[in-house]
Amino acid sequence: MSLAPELNVKLVLETDKKRERINARNSVIYAVDGETLILAQTEPSISSSLLNKEITVTYLLKKSGRHLRYGFSALVTQLIDQYELMPDQHVRAIAVCKCSESKPYEIRMCYRVGPSSKGGLDASILGRKVNIVDISLGGIKFSYDKSLPLETDKVVEVRLGIAGDIYPVQARIVRTWWTEHERFRTELRFAGAEFLNVSGKMEDELSRKILDMQRESPFFSDKM
């Protein structure tokens, strides 16, 4: 399927792995002229701070009965206040210039979900079990005992248990922090880690598990 007017797209403006956040906004293609695309202005609006900067334009493509997400880099070239969508109808729009080929894009890489009530997912580091706070294909956030020596930028092996199978994966600690639990007068330690070498089998199994968890959550939606 080629890019064409009325195609729904999701614009990824920023991915912050350290803070485990993704800034993505919904839009639709108004017009295509060669490498130039006119897109609907988003809500909240894309500001002038993104002019001449690259974003990622992603869309769903149906293949073999499955919806797969593809994406490409695009340069924001213009913010249009009065784009003539049709006679007597003017709308706010964004002009972008496509600057890379489309390729598979895993937007869920940056969406983190909490552990499923069905269980079947656990993790350990240095032989000690940690409590998963949330997880994605790109990394994990967890709480841990203060006796576990973790430091920012340190690479550790995470042994991830998925439905009874163990998958070892190298992960870089991107941040650590702690909070004080007033009721129990104890210190709660947390860390966020980025996966470095996810195997194909682990990715498949973790993807399935994440989808299961997403189905249980009323807050996740990736219909565009």
What confidence tens digit (pLDDT) does each residue in 149-171 have? 898 888 999 999 998 899 999 98
139-151: b (≥16 Cβ within 10 Å) or e:
bbbbebeeeeebe
Give the CATH number, domain containing residue 27.
Answer: 2.30.110.10
Split at pLDDT 50, 70, 90, the class of 129 is very high
Q: Which two tokens stand for residue 15?
A: 């991915």
- Residue 34 falls within a domain, yes or no? yes
pLDDT value of residue 130: 94
Give which of 195, 192, 189, 187 is closest to 148, Cα–Cα.
Answer: 189
What 8-state DSSP symbol labels residue 49? G
Residue 128: domain span:
121-216
One domain, residues 73 and 151? no
Q: Is the pTM of this model over 0.85?
A: no
One domain, residues 86 and 59? yes
Torsions phi, psi for 22 (to 5 deg) = -130, 135
Q: Compute the C-alpha angle 159/164/147, nearest 5°.
A: 35
pLDDT in tens, 190-221: 998 888 877 878 877 887 787 777 666 544 44
pLDDT value of residue 208: 79
Spatial neighbors of 153 by CB under 8 A, at least 6 apart, are 172, 173, 174
Q: Pick 97 or 43 by higher pLDDT.
A: 97
DSSP 200-221: HHHHHHHHHHHHHHHHH-SS--
pLDDT value of residue 107: 60
One domain, residues 56 and 128? no
One domain, residues 79 and 16? yes
pLDDT value of residue 224: 40
One domain, residues 53 and 93? yes
Instruction: Specify the number of domains making up the chain.
Output: 2
Q: Is the pLDDT of residue 223 over 90?
A: no
Which SS3 state, helix, strand or coil, does residue 14 take?
A: strand
